[in-house]
Amino acid sequence: MTELRLRATEPTDLDYVLAAEGDPQARQWVTPWPRERHAAVLTDPDYRHLVLERDGRLVGWSLLAGVTDTNRCVELKRIIVSARGEGVGTRAMRLLVDLAFDELGAHRLWLDVKHDNHRARDLYRRLGFVEEGVMRDAFRTESGEYADLVLMSMLETERPDG
């Protein structure tokens, strides 16, 4: 597989971001944001809105939050991969872990994931994230039911090769 790279999302990338986020497979795991909210975080210093490129083609995007947090706790708020089943998600997560710890100086990288998103939870565990607990009834599904989120994190001292 050719090289995967992260770069800052540009306003011209937002059509792709919205389409990827609105894809039915992605929508089961994330709640889409309106264009205005995505556009606002492009210039917010506390966020890193990033697209994933391979061979000049967009194959995913991600959002990190809390990059200016004085406690050095960075949140992986979103990751959506449109090139599914090609190993892009695993490689993208490794790039994001490296970015958080090496460039942003994070002490802790954390995320929450829907309790029934077993594929993502397995990936995060394989990469060294630890499940810290369950946030019960933390969000409402499209059907109006409440569902749980699992809180996971990795400390800089737990990072593989870190």
Per-residue pLDDT tens listing for the chain (162 residues): 578 999 999 999 999 999 999 998 888 888 889 999 999 999 999 999 999 999 889 999 999 999 999 999 999 999 999 877 777 889 999 999 999 999 999 999 999 999 999 999 999 999 999 999 999 999 888 888 999 999 999 999 999 875
36 CB contacts (<8 Å, ≥6 apart)? none
108-114 and 73-81 as β-strands: parallel, antiparallel, unpaired? parallel
| Domains recognised in the chain with CATH numbers | 4-155 (3.40.630.30)
* Token representation of residue 93: 């997560």
Residue 66 has what pLDDT? Answer: 98
Convert 127-145 to b/e letters by CB count within 10 Å (16 or more is b): bbbeeeeeeeeeeeeeeee
